Amino acid sequence: MAGHNKWANIKHRKGAQDKRKGILFSKCSKAIMAAVRQGGPNPDMNLTLVYAIEKARAANMPRDRIERAIEAAAGVGQGDSWERVVYEGYAPGGVAVLVEALTDNRHRTAPDMKRIFLDNGGNLGASGAVAHMFTQCAIFRVDKAAANEEQLFGIAAEAGGEDVQPDGNEFEITGPQASFAALRNALAAAGIAVASARLAAIPVLKVDVTDAALARRILAMLEELEDNEDVDNVVTNLEMSDALAEELARE
């Protein structure tokens, strides 16, 4: 499954600018606050909050900012009413796209999503249009210096994980969504530092793109979606070679 990470790597390298960090931190804060208002400020009793905190940490969001978001939400009361909405459609080249939004106004967000898809040569579909092409997984990444593959596989298997694959300088551990907490706890108990942990939709069916111009059009659309203030996550079944991914990441 490690190949799906190419788009994430491109996002990470192209998104290093301060502006993108600011947008990302703002989205992480909103997700944390929404989770607190939904299930309370105690991560031990609120798995949604655990996911939101892990995502913030993966984005290198400062601990004090995470704590401020939790405290602010816990003291606000009702506050804004946010809901999670998933939009589904296709990018150019028939690449499937899932957009997970956290919005307080569907009447604002839905037209924005439709415009971004259409302006970039894609099209927004109905609910269920592409969801069947993905499966929800827990994903952990561990530096290769922290453990060997055999050790990780043993730990992952006992905690409900399904696969361990090398990916660059890291190992990627995947399992069902429900195994997230068990995998996190098992790795911590073994003293293995986690580089990142997240829940993500993983493509079952992939679309291999070899043309650089088409890949740029697709990435432009994905980046515009990522920059939208209501979008929490963008997932795609885009697949490309390592060489093409490296070329695009350098641009």
- Answer for the pair 84, 101: CB distance below 8 angstroms, yes or no: yes
For the ranges 7-11, 37-41, 189-193, the maximum mean pLDDT occurs at 189-193
For residue 100, tell me if it sits in a domain: no
Spatial CB neighbours of 194, under 8 Å, sequence gap ≥ 6: 140, 141, 142, 184, 187, 188
Q: How confident is the model at residue 8 (pLDDT cuts 50, 70, 90)?
A: low
Residue 56 lies in a domain: yes
pLDDT score, position 10: 60
Q: Judge contact between 106 and 85, C-beta under 8 A.
A: yes
The answer, yes or no, to whether residue 4 has pLDDT greater than 60, is no
Residue with tokens 């290093």: 16
CA distance 47 to 35: 9
Domain assignment of residue 186, yes or no: no
212 domain-assigned = no
What six digits make up the tokens of 105? 């106004």
Mean pLDDT score, 220-227: 92
Report pLDDT digits (tens) over 60-80. Answer: 899 998 998 898 888 755 555
In a domain, 218, yes or no: no
Task: Assign residue 128 a region (left: φ > 0; alpha: ψ between -120 and 50; beta: otherwise).
Answer: left
Q: Alpha-carbon dihedral of residues 156, 162, 165, 167, nearest 10 degrees? A: -90
- At residue 92's C-alpha, the angle toward residues 130 and 88, to 5°, is 25
The whole-number average pLDDT for the span 17-30 is 75
How open is the CA angle 159-161-167, to the nearest 5 degrees?
A: 130
User: pTM for this structure?
Assistant: 0.74
Does 133 reside within a domain?
no
Q: Which residue from 184, 190, 98 is spatially nearest to 141, judged by alpha carbons?
A: 184
Strand partners, 120: none
The tens digit of pLDDT for each residue in 77-133 reads: 555 567 889 999 999 999 999 999 988 899 999 999 999 999 999 999 999 999 999
Where does the pLDDT of residue 229 fall: very low under 50, low under 70, confident under 90, or very high at 90 and above?
confident
Per the structure, how many domains does the chain have? 1
pLDDT at residue 1, rounded to an integer: 44
11: CATH: 1.10.10.200
Q: What is the pLDDT of the chain when averaged over all its residues? A: 86
Residue corresponding to tokens 């730990």? 155
Q: Which domain holds residue 39?
A: 2-76
Q: Is residue 87 part of a domain?
A: no
Cα–Cα distance for residue pair 22/122, rounded to 1 Å: 27
SS3 call for 32: helix
For residue 162, pLDDT beyond 70: yes
